Amino acid sequence: MSIIKSAFRVLRFGSAKNQLFSLESKTCRAFSVCNKLRQDASDANASKINFYVDENKEKGYAILKLNKGPVNSLNLEFLTELNIQLEKFEESKEIKGVILTSSIPNIFSAGLDIMEMYQIKQDRGSQFWTALQETWIKLYGSNKIYIAAINGHSPAGGCLLSISCDYRIMSKGPYKIGLNETLLGIKAPFWFRDTMINTIGYRETEKALQLGKLYSSEEALAVNLVDELADSKDLITKAEEQMSKWCAIPTVARELTKSSMRRDTLSKLIAQREADTQSFIEFTQRDSIQKSLRMYLESLKKPKKSSA
Ligand SMILES: CC/C=C\C/C=C\C/C=C\C=C\CC(=O)SCCNC(=O)CCNC(=O)[C@H](O)C(C)(C)COP(=O)(O)OP(=O)(O)OC[C@H]1O[C@@H](n2cnc3c(N)ncnc32)[C@H](O)[C@@H]1OP(=O)(O)O
Q: How many domains, the chain?
A: 1
How far is C-alpha 148 from the geometric centre of its chain's CA atoms? 10
CATH of the domain at 266: 3.90.226.10
Domain residue limits at 96? 3-300
Closest C-alpha residue for ligand 1 atom 63: 301
Query: What is the distance between the terminal CA atoms of the chain, rounded to a whole angstrom?
Result: 52
Residue 308 lies in a domain: no
Closest C-alpha residue for ligand 1 atom 11: 188
116 lines ligand 1 (CB under 6 A): no
Q: Is 125 a catalytic residue?
A: no
Residue 62 lies in a domain: yes
Q: Is 86 a catalytic residue?
A: no
Residue 101 lies in a domain: yes
Q: Is 180 a catalytic residue?
A: yes
Residue 244 lies in a domain: yes
Residue 306 lies in a domain: no
Q: Is 112 a catalytic residue?
A: yes
Residue 307 lies in a domain: no
Closest C-alpha residue for ligand 1 atom 16: 112
ipTM of the complex: 0.96
Q: Per-residue pLDDT tens, the chain, 308 aa: give them.
A: 444 444 433 333 233 333 332 333 444 444 444 444 444 444 444 457 999 999 999 999 999 999 999 999 999 999 999 999 999 999 999 999 999 999 999 999 999 999 999 999 999 999 999 999 999 999 999 999 999 999 999 999 999 999 999 999 999 999 999 999 999 889 999 999 999 999 999 999 999 999 999 999 999 999 999 999 999 999 999 999 999 999 999 999 999 999 999 999 999 999 999 999 999 999 999 999 999 999 999 999 877 654 33
Global confidence as pTM? 0.88
111 lines ligand 1 (CB under 6 A): yes
Marked catalytic residue, from 77, 90, 134, 181:
181
Residue 87 lies in a domain: yes
